[in-house]
Amino acid sequence: MSLAARERAWLLAGWVAAAMGASIPVSVATDNALLGLLVALWLIGGGLRRSWQAVREHRAAQIALGLFALLGLGVLYADAPLGERLSYLSKYRELALLAVLLPVFAEADVRRRGLVVLCAVVSLAVLLSYLLRLGLVPSGVPGEGLFKGVSGDAYVFKLRITYSFLAAFAAYVMAAGALRAPRTWQKVILGLWALACALNVLLLVQGRTGYLVLGALVVYGTVVRLGPKGAIAGAALAAAMGVAAFYGSSAFHARIAQTLQELRQGAGDEATATSTGLRLQFLRNSVAIIRDHPLTGVGTGGFATAYAEKVRGTAQVQTTNPHSEYLLLGAQIGLAGPLLLLALFWALWRAHARLPKCSLEREIGQAMVVAMALGCVFNSFLLDHTEGLVFAWVSALALGASLNRDTTPASAIPAAGESAAAVVPAEAGIQPAVDPARPGFPLSRE
């Protein structure tokens, strides 16, 4: 195949990767179609060589592939049908996808397009959520169709946990983008819509994961801007938001009150129908499985069988998912599983920290680490399609800024009549990275 054909394939791969930002918040089927097309273009465009070079540079990609390989080994000894074991392994493919996407996001234009599209589609979902709350669009059957929620719990496209996770993260991305936007009207629009997304999570959706992620991102954002001392201010702000939502939102109040009641009811060993009570059962029994198999676990895809055996003869509910990625990995492949996941988060954090301090990629990359690390405590986010995919997608997008040696950070925005060079940090070789005449997120550019 000619060099020109390979280059065209690689260019198209960038467009497909950016288009995934539109499909991730909406459609699993479209995700899978775009993933298949992306891998084909990646192979034609010489992606193996490019990804090999990227993986050699990034410890995080090496750890992700190592964790996926360990899960592959777990397939060999799990007590489950082969098809079920392979199905479980395929749900962790995003660990390998990180290496595929890394070189694709080396181009700043691809990163910009992807982020803009992701935030635009999540913004559409948030707008529809408000319309659902106001009764301007019809409520559907909970969990089915386009409008999966109802007026009192208004989530759209995805189920409650996924929707609130995406909305909370998009709120942070748009807030960070607003602080870097080159024009005042862009700052205002992005800032106001970031606020609208945050209020949507707090006031309209009964998603506890979204509450926690949003609060954690508020703390992280204040630390980014105020330093370590900002953690106290961020925690106070997040607590104030929680108190205001508790007394100002029927959805938030109902969800928190329900959780507190379920915590009191779910302390025993008896079967319980409450969400929190079931999670407490899953926690105790999953820890017992890990304690019985600390080194190798029960194998990839073997959790359901092991859990059924653990609760045999009791009135407790069986499950295929302990609703915690740390517990699920520990049960399947032993203690090495959650330790590698934590190592992956740490490696990503460190890799993002090596990007220029003023770059948007650094901030959103670390924000995703915060959101994912916390979300995995209460959900199996790597196992879940949308959360696992957006984690790999955003992580690769952020790390892609480090693959071009000439990449420069998104700088401060010059005031009217001031040259861009005057406000760029005084670092050797750093050039202005924001073109005031060009709309969109100001990202690190080659």
C-beta separation of 207 from 201 below 8 A = yes
Where is 49: in which H helix or E strand? Answer: helix 47-57
The three state secondary structure string of 380-402 is CCCCCHHHHHHHHHHHHHHHHCC
* Helices 82-90, 59-74: crossing angle, 10 deg rounding: 170
Q: Both tokens of residue 287?
A: 């820890």
**C-alpha distances in angstroms, 329 versus 27, 161, 303, 335?**
26, 20, 9, 8
**CA atoms of 137 and 151, how far apart (whole Å):** 9
pLDDT for the residue 242: 83
Q: Do the Cβ atoms of 394 and 369 come closer than 8 Å? A: no
Please report the pLDDT score of residue 145 as a whole number: 66
For position 144, what pLDDT does the model report?
65
pLDDT of 412 reads: 35
pLDDT of residue 229: 84
Q: Report the C-alpha gap between 281 and 79 in whole angstroms.
A: 22
Q: CA–CA separation, 46 vs 3, rounded Å?
A: 10
From first to last of the 446 residues of the chain, give the pLDDT tens digit. 788 888 999 999 999 999 999 999 999 999 999 999 999 999 999 999 999 999 999 999 999 999 999 999 999 999 999 999 999 999 999 999 999 999 999 999 999 999 999 999 999 999 999 998 888 877 766 656 677 777 777 888 898 899 999 999 999 999 999 999 889 999 999 999 999 999 999 888 888 888 999 999 999 999 998 888 888 888 888 888 888 877 777 777 777 777 777 666 664 555 455 777 788 888 899 999 999 999 999 999 999 999 999 988 887 888 888 999 999 999 999 999 999 999 999 999 999 999 998 899 999 999 999 999 999 999 999 999 999 999 999 999 999 999 864 333 433 333 333 333 333 333 333 333 444 334 445 555 44
Buried b (16+ CB within 10 A) or exposed e, 246-270: eeebebbeebbeebeebeeebeeee
Give the per-residue pLDDT at 3: 82
pLDDT score at 408:
39
Phi and psi of 150, rounded to 5°?
A: -130, 180
Tell me the CB-side half-sphere exposure of residue 213, using CA atoms within 13 A. 35
| DSSP 8-state symbol, 420 | G
**Residue whose pair of structure tokens reads 């220029």 in the numeric block:** 356
Q: How many CA atoms lie within 13 A of 9 on its CB side?
A: 17
- Residues in Cβ contact with 302 at an 8 Å cutoff, skipping those fewer than 6 apart: 74, 77, 78, 79, 80, 85, 332
* Closest by Cα among 290, 283, 378, 281 to 339: 290
Buried b (16+ CB within 10 A) or exposed e, 194-209: bebbbbbbbbbbbbbb
How high is the pLDDT of residue 424? 36
Count CB atoms within 10 A of the CB of residue 110.
Answer: 22
The confidence score (pLDDT) of residue 443 equals 59
